[in-house]
Amino acid sequence: MPALREKAEILRKLHAGPRILVLTNAWDAASARVIQAAGFPAVATSSAGIAYVLGYPDGQRISRAEMLDMVRRIAASVDVPVSADVEAGYGTTADAAAETARGVVAAGAAGMNLEDVDDRGELLPVDRQVERLRAVRAAADALGVPLVVNARTDTFGVPSLAPSDAPDEAVRRANAYLAAGADCAFVPFVRDRDAIARLARDVAGPLNVLGLPGAPPVAELEKLGVRRVTVGSGVARAAYGLARRIALELRDAGTYGALGEGALSYAEMQALMS
C-alpha cells in the first residue's frame, strides 16, 4: 500500500497551499478521466452523482458496497489522489464509520468525506460524530494509510437549525471534528462572504466550502481564507441538464444543435479511456 500512502500525503499537502485546492467532483470513471486530463491535482467524488448513475436519489439510499465499488473504479481510472464522498458513512455508529473507512482504503481512495447527519437529515450529537471520526482515524491508521478526512457539518443545510445559529454551530462542530483527527472541515451551502470569512477565521484548520451559483469566485474565496473548494453534484447535474436539452430538442424540433454544446469528440473520449 505504499502508493496509496504517498497519494494520501500528496492530498494532505495540497490542503496546506501555497494555493487554494480546487476539486471537481467525478461520478464515474469517464468523468474522473476528463477531470484529470483538465489538469487537476486530485479528484473528488460526488456521492449524489454516483447515486444517480446507479438509479438512486441522494441521501444514503445507495448501499455502502455499491458506493465503494464506484469509488474503486474511479480511483483505478486516474493517477492522481481521489477523495471519496461516502455520505455519513452508512450507519450512525463508530463501528459503521470505521467499516466505511476501511472500505475507502480498500477501494484505493486517499481521502474521504464524513457527514454529521442521520438518515432523516438531522444533525448527530457532536460527541457521537467525534467518536465516529476517531474511529475513522484509528481504522485508517491501523491500515497504515494517512487517510485525509474531510469532516462535513451541515449546519447551514438542516431545517431544524435557525440560520442565525448556523455560523456559531458550524465553528463549534468544525473545531471539535478537527480536534478528533479530521484534516479539513467542510461547511457546505454557505454563500455569504461575511459568514465564509468568519468560518475561515475561527475554524482551526483548513476550510472546505461548496462552489455554488451565487457564491464568491475561487479567487475571492482564497483571499477570504478558504483552503478547499468542491462543487459536489453540480457537474453531474449540469451534464444531465444538457442531456435533457438534447432530448427535448430531438423530440420537439428534430434537430441536433445541443449535441455540439461542448461535446468531446469520439476520438477524444477513446483516447481518454485508453
- List pLDDT tens digits, range 179-232: 999 999 999 999 999 999 999 999 999 999 999 999 999 999 999 999 999 999
Structure confidence by residue, pLDDT tens digits, 136-185 = 999 999 999 999 999 999 999 999 888 889 999 999 999 999 999 999 99
Same domain, 102 and 155: yes
User: Do residues 157 and 242 both lie within one domain?
Assistant: no
What is the domain count for the chain? 2
The model's pTM = 0.96
Same domain, 239 and 225: no
Q: Rounded to an integer, what distance in angstroms lies between the CA atom of residue 164 and that of residue 168?
A: 8
Is the same domain home to 241 and 228?
A: no
Residues 54 and 86 in one domain: yes
